[in-house]
Amino acid sequence: MTFNWLININGDPLLKSYCVELEYQLRPKITKFLISRVDPDRCYDFSCFQFDVDVEGKNISLSENTPSTFYQLLQADFPKSILDFSRM
């Protein structure tokens, strides 16, 4: 799976560190969500999934860059706030 960060993290080491920590928290939760809804024969490693992470807006969403069959299947059910950003 790929995370698209909707901020510029190139020059800020603290922000990079925050994003790394956030990604480590997101991956297990998203993986559980995908396992519960995607047939493993159709996508066994989840590499085709992309997620847009808006750190400032404190939101994560399924990216439209995800293949359309999966996007249409999951977009409505994907939790808009899969992580409690206030704990970060």
Average pLDDT, the chain: 86
pLDDT digits (tens, 9 = 90+) for 2-44: 999 998 767 788 888 999 999 999 999 999 899 888 887 777 7
pTM: 0.84
Return the percentage of the chain with pLDDT > 90, whole number.
43
Give residue 60's domain range.
2-87
* pLDDT of 88 over the 60 cut: no
If you average pLDDT over residues 43-47, what whole number do you get?
Answer: 84
Counting the structural domains of the chain, the total is 1
- For 18-44, b where at least 16 C-beta lie within 10 A, e where not — what string? ebeebeeebeeebeebbeeebeeeebe
